């Protein structure tokens, strides 16, 4: 065969066979892949004659897209439920427990048994029963009742001086502790 000789054209029957195989593969693939179903459906909608010739393929594409949408909606519902469940378990439940335990601390303190008596009040009762302390107390009361205004002012001034010394001592100790 010479090199310049024209090539023989393929037979028309082989093209038709390949076309049929392609259409059959579309029938199989549109059910599995919604992206292919959308593309095939767009092509079929663009050409009315092709749509009439391959109406079953068009309907398979629509069914595939509808099933895909239903799957997506179901997945969204499941995802929403899982988020709600995990949010309740890991967020709302600990908040409720923290709130309940915060209140239960007050209840636990209220449930503690009361102390019999405070030690300071017992000491006051013992001292007030002591005769020496009673005598000193009555002497103090009588002295306070007969005190002159000048003596009261002097006592008040000496009290203020003692407080000022106490405050300055505290300030000095606080500054020394900082250093």
Q: Confirm whether 33 is domain-assigned.
A: yes
Q: Confirm whether 55 is domain-assigned.
A: yes
Q: Confirm whether 44 is domain-assigned.
A: yes
Q: Confirm whether 177 is domain-assigned.
A: no
Range of weakest confidence among 92-101, 118-127, 133-142: 118-127
Read off the pLDDT of residues 43-72 as tens digits, 9 standing for 90 and up. Answer: 999 999 999 988 999 999 999 999 999 999
**How many folded domains does the chain comprise?**
1
Q: Confirm whether 67 is domain-assigned.
A: yes
At residue 154, the pLDDT reads 62
Distance CA 101, CA 106 (A): 9
Q: Between residues 108 and 6, which one has the greater pLDDT?
A: 108
Residue 19 · residue 12 · CB < 8 Å: no
Residue 55 · residue 49 · CB < 8 Å: no
Q: Confirm whether 22 is domain-assigned.
A: yes
Distance CA 37, CA 68 (A): 10
Residue 11 CA to chain centroid, in angstroms? 71
Q: For the stretch 65-89, what's the b/e string if a residue is b when 16 or more beta carbons lie within 10 angstroms of its beta carbon?
A: beeeeeeeeeeeeeeeeeeeeeeee
Tokens for 23, please give them: 């259409």
Q: Confirm whether 37 is domain-assigned.
A: yes
Q: Confirm whether 54 is domain-assigned.
A: yes
Range of weakest confidence among 47-56, 62-71, 84-93, 143-152: 143-152
**Domain range for 48:** 13-84
Read off the pLDDT of residues 29-44 as tens digits, 9 standing for 90 and up. Answer: 998 899 999 999 999 9
Tokens for 76, please give them: 């969204």
Mean of all residue pLDDT scores within the chain: 81
């Amino acid at each position: 065969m010479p090199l310049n000789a024209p090539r023989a054209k393929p037979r028309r029957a082989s093209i038709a066979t390949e076309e049929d195989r392609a259409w059959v593969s579309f029938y199989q693939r549109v059910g599995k892949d919604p992206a292919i179903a959308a593309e095939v459906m767009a092509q079929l909608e663009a050409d009315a004659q092709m749509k009439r010739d391959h109406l079953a393929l068009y309907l398979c594409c629509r069914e595939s897209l509808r099933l895909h949408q239903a799957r997506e909606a179901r997945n969204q519902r499941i995802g929403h439920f899982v988020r709600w469940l995990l949010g309740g378990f890991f967020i709302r439940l600990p908040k409720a427990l923290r709130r309940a335990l915060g209140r239960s601390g007050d209840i636990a303190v209220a449930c503690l048994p009361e102390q019999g008596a405070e030690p300071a009040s017992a000491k006051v009762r013992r001292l007030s029963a002591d005769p020496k302390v009673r005598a000193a107390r009555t002497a103090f009361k009588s002295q306070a009742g007969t005190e002159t205004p000048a003596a009261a002012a002097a006592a008040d001034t000496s009290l203020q001086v003692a407080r000022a010394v106490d405050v300055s001592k505290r300030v000095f100790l606080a500054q020394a502790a900082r250093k």
